[in-house]
Amino acid sequence: DIQMTQSPSSLSASVGDRVTITCRASQGISNDLAWYQQRPGKVPKLLIYGASTLQSGVPTRFSGSGSGTDFTLTISSLQPEDVATYYCQKYNRVPPFTFGPGTKVDIK
Amino acid sequence: EVQLVESGGGLVKPGGSLRLSCAASGFAFSLYNMNWVRQAPGKGLEWISYISSSNNIIYYADSVKGRFTLSRDNAKNSLFLQMDSLRAEDTAVYYCAREAHNFGYLKIDSWGQGTLVTVSS
């Protein structure tokens, strides 16, 4: 099975900072990667799919890039409402549809 | 508006069984593939099962294979997860989640609020 890793596991940044989270697949997964945001006590929310396509309604400060095994989620200007845990997920027609372990983002 | 409402969670003893349901509304349920994802307390997300729209393709994570059974009733817009031989490590919030696709890419675009399953003696 393909394993998904994320780094860092947590980070603390100031409002307005640029934040980058990395997700790595143990084997190539083309662009079959999604990113989710889970605010404390809330349900996960889709941010990005196809590695770089912004889900409708998601603020444009969020962006995704990468292909194959290495992917990034970038928040161009961190806002207080972005405090959350962010997960990547391999999602295609080949199970399992593994999530990364998550990256917790806090405000400094 | 897409709505997914899970039910059936609760406290169960190790080795016991529980049946979760997910009631879907606001979209053509029979046209969508569906998933269950769980989250143990304070832990990350774990995908556990997938079922195709027509009920003919079902996948399970290794952690639940042979113990959990996923099914759906398209006439009743409902998804079911039969959980047998439950273990303490199955304790989690269980989310029903809808698959969608755009531009050839797949995604989970809608989630229910979740139902808590606690396995404890």
Alpha carbons within 13 A on the beta-carbon side of B1: 3
pLDDT at B95: 98
pLDDT per residue rounded down to tens, chain A (108 residues): 999 999 999 999 999 999 999 999 999 999 999 999 999 999 999 999 999 999 999 999 999 999 999 999 999 999 999 999 999 999 988 899 999 999 999 999
Is the Cβ pair B44, A99 closer than 8 Å?
A: yes
Is the Cβ pair A89, B112 closer than 8 Å?
A: no
Does position B43 have pLDDT exceeding 90, yes or no? yes
Q: Please, which residues 44-103 of chain B have a Cβ atom closer than 8 Å to chain A? A: 44-47, 50, 59-62, 95, 99, 102-103
CA-CA distances (angstroms) from residue B11 to B5, B18, B43, B87, B117? 19, 9, 19, 12, 6
> Which chain B positions have a beta carbon within 8 Å of A31's beta carbon?
105
Taking the C-alpha atoms of residue B48 and residue A97, their distance in angstroms, rounded to an integer, is 8
Structure tokens at A34: 């999604």
CA-CA distances (angstroms) from residue A10 to A7, A20, A88, B43? 8, 11, 14, 14
Amino acid residing at B114: G
Amino acid residing at B116: L
Taking the C-alpha atoms of residue B60 and residue B49, their distance in angstroms, rounded to an integer, is 4
Taking the C-alpha atoms of residue B54 and residue B77, their distance in angstroms, rounded to an integer, is 12
Instruction: Report the residue from B60, B95, B107 with minimal CB separation from A91.
Output: B107
Helix (H) or strand (E) holding A66: strand A62-67
Q: What average pLDDT does range B13-19 have in this prediction?
A: 98
Which residues pair with residue B108 across a beta bridge? Answer: B99
Q: What is the pLDDT of residues B57-96, one digit of tens each?
A: 999 999 999 999 999 999 999 999 999 999 999 999 999 9
Reduce the DSSP state of residue A82 to 3 states and report it: helix
Percent helix, strand and coil across chain B, each to the nearest 5? 5, 55, 35
